[in-house]
Amino acid sequence: MAKKKTKKPADPHGEFRGQRTEADQERRIVIDDAARTPTVLYFGSGIFWLLVGSLFGIIASLKFNLPDWLGSSAALTFGRIRPAHLNTVMYGWASLAGAGMIVWLTARLCRIQLQLAWVHYLAVILWNLGVLAGTVAILAGYNQGMEWLEFPRFAGAMIAVGFLLFAASIIQTFRKRNVDHLYVSLWYILASMIWFPFLYVVANLGIYQGVIQAAMNWWYGHNALATWFTPIGLAGAYYFIPKVIGRPIYSYYLGLLGFWAFALFYNWNGIHHLVGGPLPTWLVTVSIVASVMMVVPVMAVAVNHHLTTVNHFRMLKFSPTLRFVVIGSMCYTAVSVQGSLESIRSFQEVAHFTHYTIGHAHLGVYAFLSMILFGAIYYIMPRLARWEWPYPGLIKAHFWMSIAGIGIYVIALTVGGWFQGVQLNDPAIPFMDVVEYTKVYLWARSIGGALMVVSHFIFAFQFVMIIKHAGPRRFAPALFRESAPMQREEREP
């Protein structure tokens, strides 16, 4: 995509080194104004589902510790509340908050006001109704029976139409762009506008049966990450790290390599969820190979992000956005390398079917994706609301509680899950002894989960405050410490 030789291909429009002319400021204000309502609606409903979803999560986790607690309530039994958790946090929180970030980012990167802004009102309504209807259906017992595809078809259809409307506006904004160079974040965004609707519609058609349905299930399950959730996270990291630091991304060409390797390998990964299962050997092997090949795009992205950050680590002391996003991008590297290892047969022999996998999933969706979304919201909201975050102390509390929470959670399940797998593979150990062994780790998981839930309520409280222009008025950005070194973009309107 870079036939034209620009001197600084990573930053031809001065988005990151910042031309600080008044015309630039004006332009950004106009663009932000046009994107305001859709973005805030997506963020707001996303955060609502984050609260609902994480409450489901903590209830599900506590049910491992206290299996008879709420034991007579059918709607709250583990087997219903667990899929309700997954679907609300994925299709509610991560998708909607991600959509908000994409709306704002696309307008900024295309240097044009959001086009077809009105479709987002419809999209938000359909999407939220879809998630609501699907969640109620699961709790009421109408589960489609496949992981990641539990929502009944009518709920799935609402989400699909919502997504298509949302994508139409994004693509139209892209077509009207005022730039001749497309920044890396935009590639991921545009690609996911094509990938995800195809994936979601094919998966929801329900035309398969038996083992092929299992293959389709995990082709979808893993590709939901590949075609939608990971692109959101990477688009965010590629934008906010250089933006806050005030320097362009380390290498444009690594970005290019990373993107196309990502596009080629990621969507062949899914069948590694069925290693050792009753499927043709070659099929599983293909997925393992593709999973290991993911090291290429992951390393390209890792080098790009981390070499942009290196030498600027002290900025992490000041900028909440940077802290969340850099942690998120580090966890992306970690979870991806872990994922490649995990796909290998001798590793799967132990880790598959255990809590280890649950730890891995949360390292990805929480420590990588959600952290980047938190960072993005902390960055975007003051610019849209024209009001600074009133309580920097609460941002700090959110950060440390969520970090401590996910840390405890992932470490407990990784260690506990691994030894669970080792014991399951020792026939001398009775099954119930293995269950007994995991119990202490399942308690640790609940403690970590509780910390995350509390941090989400702190975050949601502050989100309400900034929308209502409530709390103490601040005239400078809410940083962790005053007199920060990043005077440029953090101080821009």
| Ranges within 265-284 binding another protein (CB under 8 A) | 267-268, 270-271, 273-281, 283-284
List the one residue from 12, 33, 132, 142 that touches another protein (CB under 8 A). Answer: 142
**DSSP string across 107-155:** HHHHTSPPTTTTHHHHHHHHHHHHHHHHHHHHHHT---SSTT--S-HHH
Residues from 432 through 471 that contact another protein (CB under 8 A): 432, 435-436, 439, 442
Site string for another protein, 81-120 (x = CB under 8 A): -xx-------------------------------------
List the one residue from 263, 337, 404, 454 that touches another protein (CB under 8 A). Answer: 263
In whole angstroms, give the CA distance from residue 78 to residue 48: 22
- For position 199 contacting another protein by CB under 8 A, the verdict is yes
- For position 257 contacting another protein by CB under 8 A, the verdict is no
Q: Is 202 helix (H, G, I), strand (E, B) or coil?
A: helix
Cα angle: 319, vertex 323, 325; to 5 degrees: 115
- Least distance (Å) between residue 189 CB and another protein: 11
Residues from 7 through 66 that contact another protein (CB under 8 A): 63-65
- Least distance (Å) between residue 220 CB and another protein: 9
Size of interface with another protein, in residues (CB under 8 A)? 84
In whole angstroms, give the CA distance from residue 110 to residue 426: 57
Stretch of 69-77, 94-102, 363-371, 465-473 lying at the interface with another protein (CB under 8 A): 69-77
- For position 427 contacting another protein by CB under 8 A, the verdict is yes
Site string for another protein, 337-356 (x = CB under 8 A): --------xx--x--xxxx-
- Least distance (Å) between residue 230 CB and another protein: 14
- For position 5 contacting another protein by CB under 8 A, the verdict is no
298, 374 in Cβ contact below 8 A?
A: no
- For position 208 contacting another protein by CB under 8 A, the verdict is yes
369, 325 in Cβ contact below 8 A?
A: no
126, 162 in Cβ contact below 8 A?
A: yes
- For position 373 contacting another protein by CB under 8 A, the verdict is no
- Least distance (Å) between residue 152 CB and another protein: 12
296 vs 460, beta carbon nearer another protein: 296
- For position 168 contacting another protein by CB under 8 A, the verdict is no
b/e string for 253-292 if b means 16 or more Cβ within 10 A?
ebbbbbbebbbebbbbbbbbbbbeeebeeeebeebbebbb
Q: What is the DSSP letter of 66?
A: -
37 vs 267, beta carbon nearer another protein: 267
413, 358 in Cβ contact below 8 A?
A: yes
- For position 214 contacting another protein by CB under 8 A, the verdict is yes
In whole angstroms, give the CA distance from residue 178 to residue 184: 16
